Structure 1
Amino acid sequence: MRKHPLLAYFVLSYGLTWLCWIPYVLSETGLGLLPIRYPEILGSSQTLGVLPGAYLGPITAAFIVTAVVDGRPGLRRWAKRLVRWRVSLRWYLGIVLVVPVVAVVSTFPVPGALDDFRIPGATVFLMYIPLLVMQFLTTGVAEEPGWRDFAQPRLQARYGPLAGSLILGPLWGAWHLPLFFSEWAGWPDVNWLTAAEFVGSAVPLSIVMTWVFNRTDESLPLIMLFHANINTVYSLAWGEVFPSLDVFSDSLHSLAIGSAVTAVGLLIATRGRLGYKTIAAGLQNASS
């Protein structure tokens, strides 16, 4: 673990999460090989089926590897980014407002989207902030202390911000693959091209998140808010705005288009640096 902390982190993240997800995937909400049905809490079986594994994986792996490799000083540096809230208000407003706009605009190239466009009802606006907070405390807290707080600084210190994102993106996306054998992805009606698109879309999205991470002085709350807002837009609002489109596959097309166009724009604007300041700073962060 001390010799290969990144490898140890990814093995632990995958192993801990997938081990916890096996009963859910094999249950009646998945492959149906076990006579188990997860009860619906907060309107979904995923609350008990998916969240425990998500919490057990990236954040736990990051904590364990950091503790073993860097000890208490490393844990303090790791935890410090988790509470780095003091970022300009424009970043918070930008993430909350720009993400829904990009999601809608990037859906228009999908066939039938322009004719299907609707203004969402009042319920969407009333539920948006509560769901955003819930997504922040679930998906954001479970995943990003690992992917962005632990892996990203080490990867970009070793390979640079772009190459580091190209490595992290598919690993982040593929971590979700067992869920395609469950109702999370609409099993058994799963198109495996959609699974490939999901993993592929994680690459440009990872590039965008690298830029946000670097430009906000490695603020994890901003990254968690960004991730949570993407989930909130597509799980709550997107289906109301485009009611006739497929909630899973067509929304994934939208995410892929929006993240790809944004990533290309950022790469051009930053000449591939993605807000990464200096090699020296990167080496210092990699030790944290």
Structure 2
Amino acid sequence: MPTGYLGLPDVLLNLFHTLQHLMPETIRSNVRRFPTATFFILTFLFSWGYLGLTFGLIGTGASGPVQVPFAWGPLFGGLLTVWLLGESVSGWLGQVGRWRAGLRWYLLGIGILVVGKEMPNLVAWLLGADVLLVAGTEVPIVGYLVSMGITLFVAGALEEFGWRGFAQVRLQKQYGAVAASLFVGGMWALWHLPFLLLGVGGFDSFYVYVPEVMAFSVLLGWLYNATKGALPVVMITHAAHNRPDLLGVSGQMPPLAQSVPWDGVFYVLVMAVVIWQVGARTLSGDGRLPEIPGKAPASASQAPAE
């Protein structure tokens, strides 16, 4: 059977195109006027709808694997919005192939996330606590690889198609990179609100989580822009955060190490240094923003109407 882009049968592609042309012009016009708003609405509808259905049928004790499709919301939100816009779906998905960004960016992203996640343990060590390396002893190395692999290929890292690869890359054309990153970070935190309200998923309190994820969003926005839209760098950095701790405290955790969200403090400080070094407008270091993936170059420079 003949196939088109992404390996889809031509008959299915023709169906997609037919449905696209049958879409009422008022809907298509509103999507063109408000592309990022459309993306956020579709993302929230997919993820919150799935979560409501899952928790309604199984309860809030549903296991982690059952909750994984929640993370697909930004991917599907971006995919549907690109399709509704009539832009290149293959071009948008193709940004995952921009992996030749240089090894230093992968190491830098992973390094920041490793240090950030271990900050409570490092502070405990500075305060005199006995800190042990649990990687390879209490937690087998394969456990870290499996955890990162699941995040990278089927869970949280897929969010980056939407957060960075759709929303930020469009919003920053008009509002600047830092403002766009902070806004995306706020929406990212709001997207997790059901978990925060129900106390599931192991998230910090709302007041701790929101500043942390917004600072994290700026750092990921910087990696995306500085590598000219190399989505794999951002995805692997995201995956580096979703893993067990490398270190552990033997005995009592010092109160100061436990009462302060040191990982969030670290991300905010790194964010401030990055903005100071590369500038808030582009977060790229060379004053340029990456082009919108999947959009025709002739119109990519046009600012969205939002």
TM range (shorter): 0.7 to 0.9
| 1:123-154 deviations in Å (ceiling 9; x for gaps) | 34342223222221133443111111110110
2:39: which partner in 1?
9
Identify the residue that residue 266 of structure 2 maps to in structure 1: 258
Change beyond 3 A, Cα 1:167–1:96: closer
Other-structure match for 1:218: 229
Given residue 118 of structure 1, which amino acid in structure 2 is its aligned partner? L
Cα distance between partner residues in 2 of 1:141 and 1:27: 27
What amino acid sits opposite 2:168 in the alignment?
Q
The equivalent of 1:33 in structure 2 is none
Q: Answer yes or no: is the 8 Å Cα contact 1:107–1:253 preserved in 2.
A: no
Q: Which moved more, 1:132-141 or 1:59-68?
A: 132-141
Greater C-alpha radius of gyration = 2
- Indicate conservation of the 8 Å contact 1:165/1:207, yes or no: yes
- For 1:203 and 1:54, the matched residues in 2 are separated by 18
Alignment of 1:258-277 (within 5 A): 258-272=266-280, 273-275=282-284, 277=287
Aligned to 1:241, what secondary structure does the other structure show?
strand
Q: Which amino acid aligns with 1:54?
A: A
Which whole-Å deviations, capped at 9, do the CAs of 1:208-246 have from their partners, x for residues lacking one?
A: 1111001111111111101110111xxx125x5246559
Q: CA RMSD in A?
A: 3.1
Match of 1:46 among 61, 64, 68: 64
Give the counterpart of 1:151 among 155, 163, 167.
167
Distance 1:226 1:287, change over 3 A: farther
What residue in structure 2 maps to residue 93 of structure 1?
107
- Greater mean alpha carbon deviation, residues 102-111 or residues 128-137: 102-111
Preserved CA contact (<8 Å) 2:169 2:290: no
Q: State yes or no: 1:278 paired with 2:277.
A: no
Q: Aligned to 2:274, what secondary structure does the other structure show?
A: helix
Q: Does 1:178 align with 2:194?
A: yes
Question: Structure 1 residues 53, 103: closer, same or farther in 2, change over 3 A?
Answer: closer
Q: Is contact 2:148-2:239 (8 Å) kept?
A: yes
1:167 maps onto 2:174 in alignment? no
Deviation sequence 1:186-219 (CA, Å, 0-9, x none): 8xxxx8xx12221221111111111100111111
Provide TM-score, normalisation by structure 1.
Answer: 0.78
Instruction: Quickly say closer, same or farther: Cα 1:59–1:117, change in 2 above 3 A.
Output: same
Secondary structure of the structure 1 residue equivalent to 2:133: coil
SS of the aligned residue for 2:134 comes to coil
Between the aligned partners of 2:142 and 2:34, the Cα distance in structure 1 is 47
| TM-score calculated relative to the size of structure 2 | 0.74
Distance 1:116 1:177 in 2: 35
Q: Which residue of 2 aligns with 1:104?
A: 118
User: In terms of mean alpha carbon deviation, does 258-267 or 133-142 score higher?
Assistant: 133-142
Kept in 1, the 8 Å contact 2:173–2:303? The answer is no
1:184-223 to structure 2, matched below 5 A, reads 184-185=201-202, 194-223=205-234
Do the aligned partners of residues 245 and 175 (structure 1) sit closer, same or farther apart at CA in structure 2, a change above 3 Å counting?
A: farther
Distance 1:172 1:114 in 2: 36
Change over 3 Å in CA distance of 1:26–1:254 after alignment to 2: farther
Unaligned runs of 5+ in 1: 31-36, 39-44
Deviations 1:31-81 (A, max 9, x none): xxxxxx64xxxxxx0211x112222x110110010111133x3x2331221
* Contact 1:140–1:225 (CA under 8 A) maintained in structure 2: no
SS in 2 for 1:117: strand
Task: List per-residue Cα deviations over 1:254-286 (Å, max 9, x = no partner).
Answer: 331121011011011113241163369577377
Change (3 A) 1:148 1:241: same
Q: 1:46 to 1:285 in 2, by over 3 A?
A: farther
Return the alpha-carbon distance in structure 2 between the equivalents of residues 205 and 171 of structure 1. 13
Maintained 8 Å contact 2:169/2:291: no
Distance 1:195 1:231 in 2: 18
